Every structure is written in C-alpha cells, then in structure tokens.
Structure 1
Amino acid sequence: MAGAASQHVATKACTECQKRKTRCIVINNGQPCRYCARAGKTCTVSVPPVRTPLTRKNLEAVEARCARLARLVHSLNPTINIEEAIAKDDIASDTIQSIGVSTEGESPTADRADGWREPNFEHVGDSDGMASLPQANNGRAFLGSSSGSFLYQRATQLAGIQAASTSSITGRRDTREQLSLSRASQMFPLPLAEQRLTASFRSAYLVDVYFVCYNVPCPILHEPTFRQGLSRRAGIKQDEWFPLQYQLVLAMGYWIIGGDEGLQVSFYQAARAQLSLECFESGSLSLVQALLLMGNYLQKRDRPNTGYNYVGLAGRMAIGLGLHRRPTDGGTYSNMQLEIRRRIFWTLFSLESGFALTTGRPTLVEETVTDLSLPSNIDDEDPSSVDIRNRPTSCSAIIAQSQLAIIANRLHKDIINGKSALLDLHACKKSVHESFIVWKAQLPRYFFDAGVPDWFRGPRAMVLWKEQNLRMIFWRACRRSNCGYVSSEEAALRASETAIESIRDVSEFHNTNSTLLNQNIAWYSTYFIFQSALVIILGHLEALRTSRPATETTRQNQDMLELARNSLRALSTWTPAAKRCRFVLETLARAVTTTVPNTSATDGPSNDVQMEQVSGFSFPSQTPGDTATNDFLSQMGITGNDTMPDQFDTSFDVLFQQMQNFEGDWTQDFSDLGFNDFS
C-alpha cells in the first residue's frame, strides 16, 4: 500500500510513453516508470534542444560568420569551389559508409613476406628516403644491386660484426618534432597571429620558397603558368588538377623551410584526398606533374616505396600521352608549350633514373624510346623567346642532370646489372668512363664560375655532387669484375679518391655558403657525405685483407671521416637523417677500431679469422652541435640542440633499420668478396 501511494503521473512523459501515447506513471523519483520497468525499456526523458531565436540579428550574424569562413577557405586554397567540395565530401562519406570501408588499421591478412606497408607520418623517424639504411620491419620492398643499404651491411660483415637481436629505437619522433618546431620558430619567430600574417600571405610565401629552392633543380612546374592559375579568382574554371598541384607546392614549401610538420601533412593529405581510381581513367599533362610532385615529396618525407609508385604512375601516363616523342602536329603547340613538354619528360626521366639506382630496380623509361631534344636554356620570363642564354636559367640544372641520368642508366643497366661477356663489359666500362669525362668537359662555364646568382649555387653544387657519386659507384662496380679495364686495386683506389673528393666538396660548400642552405640541399648533402664515408671505410677494410694500409693513407681516411662527421653534425639542424647517419658512422668506426678481420690473401673462405686492432679509425667524444643560420630565404628575396638521443640502441641490426632507403644499392659490388666468412 505504501508503494501504491507513491505512484504519480510524471510532469513530462518519458520517450517510450510518448510513443505509446499513454500516461507515464512514476513509482519513485529517479526510477524507471511503471511501463519501462515492466517492459525492460530504457526510461529516458528527452530534453528539448536549445534553439537560437530566428531573428534578423541572429541570421545576419550567422551569414557574416559563413562569409568569413568562406574567405578563409579561399585564402588557403584560391582555386576551391566550396559548393562542389561540399557535394564531393557528402558523396564520399555516403560511399564509404555504404560499402563498409574501414579507414583505420590494416588488413589482418596482409602478408608482409610478399609486400610492404610504409608507416604513417607519425612514425616518420623509423626510416629515411635515401636508401642507404637497411629496411625496417614494415615489409619486404625489393632493393637491388645499387642500394646503399647493402654497402653498410657489407662493411659490417667485412668487419666481422655480428648482428644483435632486434630492438626498437625510441625518441626519434620527438627529435623530429622538436627539430621541426625549432626550424619553424626561426622562420616565424613570433606566433603567426601576433605577426598578423594572413593565410594568403603565408601561402604566397611558401609558393616563393618552392620555386626558389626546389623547382630550379627539378623544374616539374612552369612558374609563369602556375602563377597565372594562382591569380585567377575563385569560381573561374581552370585546370582540373591545379588544386592538387597547389596543395603539393605548399607541402613542399613547408618541408623546405622545416616548418610545422602537422601543416606539411595536412597539405599532403588534402592533395591525396583529391586522387581516386577515376583519376587514372584519363590522362593529363597537369596530372603527370602532380604525380611527379607527390612521388618526390614522399621520397623526401621518408616514403620511398610509395613515392616510387607515384613516379611510376607518372611515367606510364606520360608515355601514354606521348611526351617521349615529338608531336606530329607540332603546329598546334607554341614554342613554350613544346619546351614545357620537354622539361616535364626529362625531369621525369631524371627522377625515375634516380629512383631506379636508389632502389636497384630496373628503369622504366629508357633514353632509347625518346626522340626529344633536351630542354633549352631559355628564360621563363619571356615565353616568346627561343634564344639560348649563356647564363644560368631555371633549366640549366635539369639539362646537366638529364645528361647524367643517361650515363647513370647505362651504368646501372650494362655494368652493375649487366651480364655481358668480358670483352663487351670492357667496352661498356670504357664508354661510361669516357662519358663522365666528356660530360664535365662540355658543361657551360657558369658551372664553374664564381660569379653566379645565389639561387643557382645550390642546384649547381647538387649536379656536381651527383656526378661524383655516380663516378664513385662506377669505380666500385669496376672493382667487382676482372675485365681488364683497370685492376681491382686501382678501381678501389679511385673509388676512395672520388669519395674523398665528394666529402671535401660538400663540406666546402657548407662552409662557404652556409646562408644558402635549405632542407632540400641538406637532404642531398647528407646522402652524398654519408655514402662517401662508407666507401672510405669499406675500402680500408678491403685493403686489410691483403696488406696493411700505409700510415699516410690511414691518416687521410681518418681526416675525411672526421670531416664527414662534422658536416653531418651541422646538417643535423636541418634533417634528422643527418643525426642518424652520424651516429651510424661513429658506431661503425668504433667497431672497426676494435674488431677487424684479417684474412690471408688467398682466395676462398677461411675459418681462422684473426682480429686485430686498427689505428686511425676513431672519433673524439661527441660535442653539442652548432645551430646553422638561416639567411637563405631573405637572401633570395623571400620575406619570412644537436645531441644524440640517449635511447639509441647500438646493435647492428638496428643500425640497419636506421639506414633504410638512402640512394644507391651496392649488392653486386660485393658479390666476390666472400663476406660470409665474417658472418
């Protein structure tokens, strides 16, 4: 009876009683009503939503806010059509939900033995895009006989170093984030809001950075054409793929200045979101440019295999469009349009050749398939001009790089991976060697003159460093086979001499042009210095197999390794890869100092491996690095703590993981050295 007396009709019926249109009888306050308790329903009382009064004042405030948001979106991307973007976003969301596609995680059935998966940008510190560090545990991507990871692996095997158990290296992600924030704070000393920099100003700044620092050595885009598209008002129809190019230019610009990593990734993800399978059901010159940009950006951002795929797509599409041939209806093209086609093809050719040598994979585009002449050394500012300039232009570097790429393809195909008879191999080596000599002799004078514009010094240096690196690879390949062109000892000596020349030239550039450094130059500098240092160490180890190196040679090698170490320390302020490479170099040098195998000069495996002390291969204790100045962009007219992590693991299989994806592959260079003797 007491329970019955406490029953009363609720002031507001619960949801279930409202559906049934019955009275909501509450037994006790805070408990379910009588019906919900009996039926096992959830008894909830809905709260009416808070609604903004529909007045003229409130409506005008919302309209003003929408207008401001639209202006903000247009300032970030002047080409976007907001209505179309909203419609596409709705369609994409509905499609994903309807087919049940998961956007997170990975397939549980993924077979890592026959595939690879590169980690997302949150784990970017686990690899680097130059293919000199062995692969991490993210799958099995093929690295052939010209990948630099094998150079390091063979050096450790020759030194008799046993790989330890796999362990992880921690602290690298934090290092990269701190480096990124440090670099961004140098470029923008105050918070952006305090500087009152609008989004459109920052975008224009990043576009300037891209064309000054990246597009000169790699002219994927034609600057006047791109800026013309950028200046068009929103809503005016333009090239379908210009927004994709624009987002990638911003991402590359942020990468070059070492800016905020989150913004880099957001620009890249905005670009990637515009790609779908439907994109590849048609062909477009501007899409080829965008795919090349995305592929090269991903390589620089430590996604070499993904970047390799994008460059491959660009190559297939370019061939499908006939970029490799002279147009049969040439009258429909202006002189500048024909020139742009040549630039895109030869830039693609150079990038694809570099990727092939980087990964040790076959080249997809051969010089024999094209009848195009090389790009012309003309100015972009005068589109009607066809006069060849006897001074640096935006195409000077790619002309020299394209000629080098032709030599590199012959080196890769006929010598490193060639299976010719000894007589043919002798002729191939002689021809490639002479090609290096002719290439350098035919370079324009401005590749050696001191009085060149500052914007050309970096691209010029990278071209000359590339030639030295290819020559070093050539001599390493000559050492491998006995075709009578040069002796094995002579080839090894020339490889070491070229490595010394490379370290000196790169270090001298940094000393004399420190204000011209940017992340693109630092990326290539790290690779060239590190691979040259490995060649010196490997040459020293190989010499120990037959004789004791001269004291003078050992001292010179030590001096060069110390110079390489100091240069990598300076580069560490720009790229985390330099810090890891310096650590690997120091660890390998210390290991070589304490344990180096000394085998007899006779051929064949030896079970009696004697370990001896090697003098001259040690480094002083580590010292804090210097902070590089960053005056380059202001000098170009664009307005806008180096210690090793304590958690680094010193096991050599972990060092291999640190070395993933630096340029160059050296597997075949060491096939005759019998490294299994020291495993």
Structure 2
Amino acid sequence: MTSLERPPASGDFEWDERNDQPGGHKFIDGMASLTSDTDGSGYLGVASGAALLRITVGHNGHRSGTSSPRASTVPFAMTSLSALDGYIDDYFALYHRSYPIIHEATFRAQFMEIIPRPSGNAWQVLLYVVAALGAWSTATQRTDAHTALFEAAKARFSFDLLETGNLVLVQALTLMANYAQMGNKPNSSYNYYGLARRNAMGIGLHKELSAWRLKPLVIEMRRRVWWCLYAFDVGSIITFSRPFDFPQSGVDVELPINVHDADLTTATTQRPPPADTTTLYSHLTAQCSFHMATYNIYERMISDSFPSAKEMVELDDTSIESWLGSLPHYFQPSATQPPRYAFSHATLQWRYRNLRILAYRPFLLKRAMSGSEWVQDQDGSEDLANIDIAFQRCLDAASESIELISRFWFNNSQTMMVSWYGLYFLFQAVLIPIVCLRNNPQSDLAGAWRDQVHESTRILESMMRLNPTASRCLRIVTSLAQPYISNEEEINGPTQESWQDQLTSLYPMMWPELGSDFAPSDHINELQESTITDFMNRMSAYE
C-alpha cells in the first residue's frame, strides 16, 4: 500500500529556526496549522493541524508566508534584576495557573535572596525564561519584550549545563521548550523537550522509592515537574503528529496532590489530604490523566492501518467518555471555576474536543466529499451507523469548540496566552464547517455551518490586534469560505472540484509532510495523485 507520507523536494526534513541568521527566515508556526510547505519546516504528521490545511489551500492560492520574526527592540541584557520583577509577577498571574512547574514561594524567596539561589547558571536560565513567559503570556497588545528576555535566557545556557543534572535544569529546559513552540520554533521546542526529558529521567523524576525520606514538598515538587514536562511534551507530540515516545513503562511517579499551597510548605512533615475544590494543581492532573487515557486513540490515528468508524467510536467511548466521567465534581466541564482557574479549565474543554475532531475528521471528509450518500464497499460491509456517529461527533466537537472559545474570548481578559491556545483550537475547528459548506451548501445544516464560520471570523478579527498569526488564519478562512457565506441567495451548489482536487488543495492543512507547494514536476504530481488515491482507498476499506 502506498504510504501517506512523501519526502519534501529537498529530500530531507532539515530546518533552521534561528532568528537573523542565513537560512533562518522561514515562517513555521508553533501550532503546526499554517505551515504550507515541508521544505525547512521539519516533520509534521497526519494528525497535525497543518494536515487538514493541505487538503484545502492549494487551489486557493494561499501561502502561509516566509517572513522572519522581528528583531527585538528591547536591550538584550537587563542592567538590573529588579527590571524582571513585573514580568515574574505576570508569569505567576496567568501561565503558572495552568502549568505549576515552579513552587512560587520558593522561587520568589530565591529571587529576593531570602534563601540561597541554586548555584550555577541553570537558575539564571530559569529566571529569564520565566520572565519571558510572563511578558508573553499576559500581553494585551503586541510586544517583543519576551523575545529579548528569552535571548537573555539562551545566552546564559551553555553546553556545560548538559553535563549536570538537577531539578532547576529540567524546569528551565521544559519552559524553554514551551516558549520556543509558542514563539513559532516547533523543532527547536522538540529538541528542548528531548533534553528536558533525558535530564528528568537522569535524576529519577520518573521514580518514587519507598525508602526515600524526603519532605512532602520535595516529593510533590518532583511530581509537579515530571507531570508538567509530560503534559507539555505529549501535547507537542500530538500537535506535530510525531511518534509517541514519552516513556510509559517503568514510570511509577504519582500525579500531584490536589492541594492548596498554604497546606503544603517546607515545614510540612505529613502529606496533607487532597482538597475537594479546584486548586493550582487541578488542571495539571486533569490534563495528564486525559493524555494517559487517550494516547491509544492518538497511536491508532497515526498508524498505517487507520481504525474503522466502529473502532474509533468504541475508543472514544472507552477513553474520552470514561475520562470525563472520572473528573472530580469541581473540575467537570459544567463546573463553575474561580476566575484565576477559568482559563486552564476552559482549555481542557477545548483540548478534548480537538482530539475528537482529529479522530473523526477523516470520516467527515469522505462523507462530505462523496456527496450526500456514503458509498458502500462492494461487499456492502460499511458500518453506516457508526459512520453516522463519527460524522455527527466531528460536527458537534467543532461546533462546541467554536462556541466555547467565542464565549471565553469575549467575556474574559484577552491576553496573548488566551489568544494562542484559542487560535490553535479554533482554526482546526472552523475547517470542519468550511469543508462541509464547500461540498454541500444546500444542506439543512448549512445555516449552522455559516454561523460557525461567521463567529470564527469575528473571533479572528478580534485576535488580530494581538496575535499576528490570527491574520494568517483569517486569510485562509476567508479565501476558503467567502464564496459560500457572502450571499446565500447566489449559492447554487457545491464546489465543482473533484474530491481528488479538493484533497490536493487541502494538503497544507491536513498532511504537512505531503505538501503541495513543491517545485512543479511530473514526479511530484504523480506522487501526490497516488497518495490521495491511496487515502481514499483506505477510507473506503475501513470496515
């Protein structure tokens, strides 16, 4: 069977994400949703957001752009650590609420030198990346302060640090990885995560030994660092659709306790009971338990033999639905949250719906592109009932995502961090009604699809003032959907493109490693045609 993957024109997936360096000017978005060609972008797999884009854009003439990040206008090195104080406050005000990889009281005491700072440069690296993330996450207008702060963090990083192993270094590498991803350097991020993971296992964060006589806070900090690294790394693996290589066997570290910080301090000698309410650690444990419950879905999604509709529905029921049922009452989807935890709770709702979109969209694509009737296999074995379920669940997940993201964006503080996560999940969601509209604009559901596109456009227009990537997303949405939403009275029928042409043009969103923006050649066209045909053949052979 022909592989769904094909090499880039250059023959490899090499990349260069350095700023202001020769060869380092190519735009590669950290959401893996807008990358429209594979040369210089690294490997992005079939479950990435860019995968669906590649099936739609080619015939609409869109390219994601190749501009390089602006050089920062902020001085490279701060003359006084006091200049970092506000950025540190910003870090703990928002970013920390989702990913508490640092113990705030300890870090602040070290910063003020109330207690000794850890020796070596690792703490300095951590300090500056914390400041960079603080400047980035809470920004309410475009700023490049975070860029200079991250450069300062990198300047304090050296190869000598890789000859050491300690908790601070794992924290620093993990946060550097996450910043790099959100700064549109996904491959750099991937490398940082690899270093962080190796260092973490090198100091045994994946183990808990009964013979250890450690203070409860020390044990909890080890757990928090390990599971924050897990949440970040697994999240990026899914974003870029790369093999799931985070260790599963040999890991016996417990999830963090759901406890308020005031109930677990350096003086605590006994492990406190978990709180029956949302705490700083509720989202972390919920996201980690989600990834553990659903990694089997992701593995099946990227495997050579894609699951049947029946199998995917069963995986959903036994994994996602079971996980939802296991969430504590205070973190259920419908639970009202204190304002400080509203964002982390919201992203969890967006996240699990996004996985459903990724899992079910192949079934939706075939149904949408095959007309109103599902074409059965010759032996008549296609499971129409489960295909109906898969189709509807994909529509529902997309619709719910758009509604939830809109509600949060327009009713809460509009910061860069909110826009980054909101944009990532929104863009993948809005492609679903767009594909449906283009293929069946006269459907009874077309009105709802148009409403979803209109609402997504409203969100993107609002995000543009803060997040430049929103402009790129808006251009794509407009180019794909405008003929089907501008004047409903003039919409006569579906696109006249064959499903082969639609798949060819949608490549930059769905399979970034199979991009359509190569230099023209008969060989490339033949490869693309055979890959599309193979995809459709596989879809028709699911059952």
TM-score range, shorter chain: 0.7 to 0.9
1:415–1:428 CA contact under 8 A, matched in 2: no
| Residue 475 of structure 2 corresponds to residue 583 of structure 1 | yes
Classify the secondary structure of the residue corresponding to 2:29. coil
1:134 aligns with 35
Using the TM superposition, give the Cα deviation of residue 670 of structure 1 relative to its aligned residue in structure 2, in angstroms.
Answer: 9.6
Q: Residues 669 and 168 (structure 1 numbering): CA distance in 2 closer, same or farther, change over 3 Å?
A: closer
2:350 aligns with 465
1:537 aligns with 434
Classify the secondary structure of the residue corresponding to 1:552. coil
Using the TM superposition, give the Cα deviation of residue 552 of structure 1 relative to its aligned residue in structure 2, in angstroms.
Answer: 2.8
The code of the aligned residue for 2:351 comes to K
Of residues 171, 182, 195, the one that matches 1:313 is 195
2:17–2:185 CA contact under 8 A, matched in 1: yes
Classify the secondary structure of the residue corresponding to 1:232. coil
| Residue 193 of structure 2 corresponds to residue 301 of structure 1 | no
Q: Residues 278 and 209 (structure 1 numbering): CA distance in 2 closer, same or farther, change over 3 Å?
A: same
Of all paired residues, the percent bearing the same amino acid is 27
Q: Residues 572 and 660 (structure 1 numbering): CA distance in 2 closer, same or farther, change over 3 Å?
A: farther
Using the TM superposition, give the Cα deviation of residue 322 of structure 1 relative to its aligned residue in structure 2, in angstroms.
Answer: 1.8
Q: Residues 293 and 485 (structure 1 numbering): CA distance in 2 closer, same or farther, change over 3 Å?
A: farther
Give distance in 1, aligned partners of 2:64 and 2:260.
Answer: 53
Q: Residues 570 and 253 (structure 1 numbering): CA distance in 2 closer, same or farther, change over 3 Å?
A: same
| Structure 1 gap segments, 5+ residues each | 1-110, 185-197, 611-651, 662-666
Using the TM superposition, give the Cα deviation of residue 371 of structure 1 relative to its aligned residue in structure 2, in angstroms.
Answer: 1.7
Using the TM superposition, give the Cα deviation of residue 502 of structure 1 relative to its aligned residue in structure 2, in angstroms.
Answer: 0.5
2:153 aligns with 271
Classify the secondary structure of the residue corresponding to 2:96. coil
| Residue 308 of structure 2 corresponds to residue 416 of structure 1 | no
Using the TM superposition, give the Cα deviation of residue 210 of structure 1 relative to its aligned residue in structure 2, in angstroms.
Answer: 0.4
2:55 aligns with 154
1:120 aligns with 19
1:6 aligns with none
The code of the aligned residue for 1:554 comes to A
1:673 aligns with 536
Classify the secondary structure of the residue corresponding to 2:466. coil
Of residues 325, 333, 339, the one that matches 1:441 is 325
| Residue 138 of structure 2 corresponds to residue 257 of structure 1 | yes
Give distance in 1, aligned partners of 2:336 and 2:365.
Answer: 41
Q: Residues 248 and 350 (structure 1 numbering): CA distance in 2 closer, same or farther, change over 3 Å?
A: same
Give distance in 2, aligned partners of 1:167 and 1:538.
Answer: 19
Q: How does 1:435-584 map to 2 (within 5 A)?
A: 435-447=319-331, 448=333, 452-476=337-361, 484=383, 487-513=386-412, 516-541=413-438, 544=439, 548=440, 550-584=442-476
* Structure of greater relative contact order (alpha carbons < 8 Å, 6+ residues apart): 2
Give distance in 2, aligned partners of 1:483 and 1:206.
Answer: 57
1:286 aligns with 168
Give distance in 2, aligned partners of 1:554 and 1:281.
Answer: 59
1:465–1:502 CA contact under 8 A, matched in 2: yes
The code of the aligned residue for 1:497 comes to D
Give distance in 2, aligned partners of 1:167 and 1:431.
Answer: 35
The code of the aligned residue for 1:144 comes to G
Task: Tell me how large the CA RMSD over aligned residues is.
Answer: 3.8
Give distance in 2, aligned partners of 1:167 and 1:218.
Answer: 30
TM-score normalised per structure 1: 0.63
Q: Residues 418 and 371 (structure 1 numbering): CA distance in 2 closer, same or farther, change over 3 Å?
A: farther
The code of the aligned residue for 1:461 comes to A
Give distance in 2, aligned partners of 1:433 and 1:144.
Answer: 25
Using the TM superposition, give the Cα deviation of residue 341 of structure 1 relative to its aligned residue in structure 2, in angstroms.
Answer: 1.1
Give distance in 1, aligned partners of 2:365 and 2:171.
Answer: 39
The code of the aligned residue for 1:507 comes to S
1:58 aligns with none
1:217–1:459 CA contact under 8 A, matched in 2: yes
The code of the aligned residue for 2:535 comes to D
The code of the aligned residue for 1:238 comes to P
Give distance in 2, aligned partners of 1:446 and 1:583.
Answer: 39
Post-superposition CA distance 1:191-224 (Å, at most 9, x none): xxxxxxx965542221111012101211221212
| Residue 44 of structure 2 corresponds to residue 143 of structure 1 | yes
2:17–2:25 CA contact under 8 A, matched in 1: no
Give distance in 2, aligned partners of 1:669 and 1:430.
Answer: 27
Aligned residues: 476
TM-score normalised per structure 2: 0.77
2:35–2:41 CA contact under 8 A, matched in 1: no
2:520 aligns with none
